[in-house]
A and B are shown apart, each in its own frame.
Chain A
Amino acid sequence: MGDIQFEIDGQTVTAVPGMTVLEVAQKHGIYIPTLCHHEKLEPFGGCRLCIVEVEDRGWTKYVVSCVFPAAGGIIVRTRSEKVDRLRKTILELLMAHAPDAPQLVELAKVYGADPNRYESDPSFCIHCGLCVRYCAEVAQKNAIGFVDRGINKEISFVPEIAAQYCNDCKACFPLCPTSYLQAAFVYAQAMTFPGAGHN
């Protein structure tokens, strides 16, 4: 199996077919910010923070590195004026929901994001899906899922399943990038008032 060679931020990197640009970057110690990525879980591609600039045969495009397959000869730039601007907007949009989440505050410093740029609506969950996917893919319990669609989408525990397993697991709680309390809160709510909130 021939190795793939390409360039990230001026550095030549190698990969095997099937690797994503993010994986290759991480292997070479090049940092790309992520919020919805977790090495144990299937790529989700939801937060879009890992967006990078790719030059491929003279064409420049913007792709999310956590799902973009490594390919020979491409030139990847993990920071550029536009990449930074897109990340800044994404962070500002998320901070309207979770202004104090430590990960977001850290990243906001790097990209100059203003937590108060957009009208705030503190609901904390940024829909990264880590808790949901962890429970489905690793714990294989499906005790937590997304309900509804679009801006009404929320995470929700399935009380019957959660009552049985969650107390001994709680593995999803620390995965949450915005607040440990978010998943815990929804969990507690599901246990105390099953069915509340979605009637």
Chain B
Amino acid sequence: MARLETPEALESFRQEILSRRDPDSPCVSICAGAGCVASGADEVIAVFEKEIEAKGLSATVSTKGTGCPGFCEQGPVVVIYPEEICYLQVQAKDVPEIVAQTIENKQVVERLCYKDPATGERAVKESDIPFYRSQQRTVLCNNIKIDSKRIEDYLALGGYAALAKALGQMTDLEVLEEVKKSNIRGRGGAGFPAGRKWEGSRNAKEPIKYVIVNADEGDPGAFMDRALLEGNPHSILEGLILGGYAVGAHEGYFYVRQEYPLAVKNIHLAIQQAEHYGLLGENILGSGFDFKVIVHQGAGAFVCGESTALMTSLEGKAGEPRPKYVRSNVKGLWERPSVLNNVETWANIPLIIDKGADWFTSVGTDSSKGTKIFSLVGKITNTGLVEVPMGMTLREIIYDIGGGIPNNKKFKAVQTGGPSGGCIPEHLLDLQVGFDELTKAGSMMGSGGMIVMDEDTCMVDVARYFIAFLTDESCGKCVPCREGLRQMHRILTNITQGKGKQGDIELLEELAETAVEASLCALGKSAPNPFLSTLKYFREEYEAHINDKRCPALACKELINFYIDPDRCTGCGTCRKQCPADAINGDKNLIHIIDQDKCTRCGTCFEVCPPKFSSVVKLSGEPVPDPVPEEERTIRKKTKEKG
């Protein structure tokens, strides 16, 4: 197939691809995303291919490794079309059975279907699984249908139709107006309206302009951008070309973190394929619009995701933020107007152009439109990627989709917005997810990280943890961030170690104010959020640590003691055998005791004491009872009494 010279040629090529595909013939999609590969997806794919070949089915059944559909917890995920039968945790040994039963005989292999932990009911189709049922997946849904190495898969699903529409039927100004009308706000950080950012660049005097994809994704634990980059690179590329057309840029950049080699490979391939078909390069689809794309690998420092640091790094200098008050969309990369948007923001653009701004704004809240992908992790039953309409409540996300908190623990807080986001407490669980709603609650949307915490989490320690991360990641250029965070980290560490003093909270507040108001870039400006939000909602935990040297969550090592309840200890010896410090004294039929001086508070005894005894308890802020006197330590057998 040669270059496509017109939008019509693209359309007929799409029809040709579709005509070669029988929608009723089976197709096996196996997630080849990072999560599933880690649990063996590569082997599953290979065995599927071999098995289908061996049974002589190659002509009618296709196999493909696809992008990540989000349910990584249950991977490898296999979906069989056209019925959309979804199998979870599939191993290579399951493959012959799937081929024989499902593909040859149209029978469902029940045991591989999702089983509701509460009711025991099976869900056959992907869309019947509660994890997916409450989601609204407009950006992420194509991942499992696409082999990201094949542009044909993207085209078959209507890919590049938005580009053809824009170049063939819309002026560049109309494209901009549509994006403005959609009210889409950036998915990577501050939630700035993309259309307004684009307009600023478009109107800037300098004629050479750039559009840039921020694919740095520095938030630990977040992988929504990665899933899109690896799973559906053409959607981002198409968005970027549309952006270039709207603002008058002829050059685009992918800034991808080095830790994402597969993403880099897939994007390079996507660019090559798009160029091959004339969807990228000179005179795209015969429209006269030229656009080229360059891929740049970042060194992977968190601060490089910040817009001015990213552009400085693109220029080949050290990735430090710039102290400028002129926006990058007017003076950015090489001092030229530069539109920087997040991966997910770009991936939404083709959908907006294709389906229209009204379609986009029909989903969401007043000020936050469309859907948002979150990376749901922490103390939650179903971890993975979820895409939901803006305005869904945290409770719905955590309980309906995430399946709630495992092990019968109590929900305590959810941290949103990445390391510099905030913690939202239980009484705000009905908060609707949206940019302004989250900010008002003292947190933020950020790029969509969501970490669920249960009752065992100490909120002071959480603040300490995130501030430690940000202290490490600070570029060190400005004083309020570098020095302020260093001191905040010291004070918070002291508090969690029982060395907190009166006045520490006030000192922390002062440092927080200085970082927020006086830091050079948004890293320092938002870094105090974890502290400020935990102080706002969990002040009593700070006070307990400082005043009573007590950790209410029984989590801070220096503030807890382990103690064996003499009434419950059965002398089984499990803890004694596993205590790495030899701190436990006991014997068969002897109540065990812990030598507090030797104990390192590693928690092993607490973990290993069999649940039916639960003899080891944690204490905090109260004296440890004296050990049982030697003469009372013999355990009398209760079985005889019962008999």
Contacts and interface: CB of A to CB of B under 8 A. Distances in A.
B520 A48 contact: yes
Contacts of A63: 325
B323 A44 contact: yes
Interface string A15-52: 00000000000000000000000000001111111010
Contacts of B482: 127, 150-151, 153
B472 A93 contact: no
Contacts of A89: 480, 484, 510-511, 513-514
Nearest to B518: A48
Contacts of A45: 323, 478, 520
A117 B508 CA distance: 12
Contacts of A152: 476
Interface stretch (A1-9, A64-72, A164-172, A183-191): A64-72
A94 interface: yes
Contacts of A43: 323
A90 interface: yes
A47 B479 contact: yes
Interface in B67-126: none
Contacts of B478: 45-48
Given A67-B325, A150-B476, A62 B471 contact: no
A87 to B, nearest CB: 9
B477 A93 contact: no
B133 interface: no
Nearest to B303: A149
Contacts of A82: 517
Which of B325, B479, B518 has the most chain A CB atoms closer than 10 A to its own CB? B479
A96 interface: yes
B519 A69 contact: no
A119 B487 CA distance: 8
Contacts of B510: 85, 89
A48 B519 contact: yes
B301 interface: yes
A48 B484 CA distance: 12
Q: Name A's interface SS.
A: loop
Contact of B517 (A47, A62, A127, A150): A62
Interface string B510-527: 110110011110000000
Interface residues of B, number: 31
Which of A63, A93, A119, A127 has the most chain B CB atoms closer than 10 A to its own CB? A93
A97 B479 CA distance: 12
Interface in A47-62: 47-49, 51, 62
B490 interface: yes
Contacts of A90: 479-480, 514, 518
B514 A86 contact: yes
Contact of B475 (A48, A97, A117, A150): A150
A152 B511 CA distance: 20
Contacts, number: 97
Interface string A85-113: 11001100110110000000000000000
A56 B309 CA distance: 27
B486 interface: yes
Contacts of A68: 325
A119 B491 CA distance: 9
A125 to B, nearest CB: 11
Interface residues of A, number: 37
Nearest to B487: A118
B474 interface: yes
Interface in A134-182: 146, 148-153
A37 to B, nearest CB: 11
A96 B475 contact: no
A76 interface: no
A130 interface: no
A107 B517 CA distance: 20
B473 A93 contact: no
A123 to B, nearest CB: 11
Interface string B462-475: 00000000011111
B219 interface: no
B21 interface: no
A153 B476 contact: yes
Nearest to B486: A151
Given A47-B479, A51-B518, A96-B487, A86 B323 contact: no
A131 interface: no
A75 interface: no
A150 B468 CA distance: 12
A119 B476 CA distance: 18
Nearest to B520: A45
Given A68-B325, A153-B482, A119 B475 contact: no
A127 B478 CA distance: 8
A51 to B, nearest CB: 5
Nearest to A90: B479
A62 B518 contact: yes
A149 B301 contact: yes
Nearest to A89: B514
B475 A86 contact: no
B568 interface: no
A150 B471 contact: yes
Given A67-B324, A89-B514, A151 B476 contact: yes
Nearest to A82: B517
A44 B514 CA distance: 19
B326 interface: yes
Contacts of A97: 483
Contacts of A118: 487
Contact of A149 (B476, B483, B485): B476
Contacts of B476: 127, 146, 148-153
Interface in B495-534: 507, 510-511, 513-514, 517-520
Nearest to A148: B476
Contacts of A129: 477
A43 B325 CA distance: 12
Contact of B474 (A62, A94, A150): A150
A93 B484 contact: yes
Nearest to B473: A150
A142 B476 CA distance: 20
Contacts of A86: 480, 513-514, 517-518
Nearest to B325: A68
Contact of A93 (B324, B471, B487): B487
Nearest to A71: B325
Interface string B325-336: 110000000000
Given A45-B323, A90-B518, A151 B480 contact: no
A46 B479 contact: yes
A44 B484 CA distance: 19
Interface of B: 301, 323-326, 471-480, 482-487, 490, 507, 510-511, 513-514, 517-520
Interface of A: 43-49, 51, 62-64, 66-69, 82, 85-86, 89-90, 93-94, 96-97, 117-119, 126-127, 129, 146, 148-153
10 contacts: A45-B478, A46-B323, A48-B518, A49-B479, A90-B479, A96-B487, A119-B487, A146-B476, A151-B472, A151-B474
Task: Report, nearest first, the 3 A-B pairs whose CB atoms are least far apart.
Answer: A45-B323, A153-B476, A93-B483
Given A46-B323, A93-B483, 14 more contacts: A43-B323, A45-B323, A48-B520, A64-B323, A66-B323, A67-B324, A67-B325, A82-B517, A90-B479, A94-B479, A126-B479, A150-B471, A151-B472, A153-B476
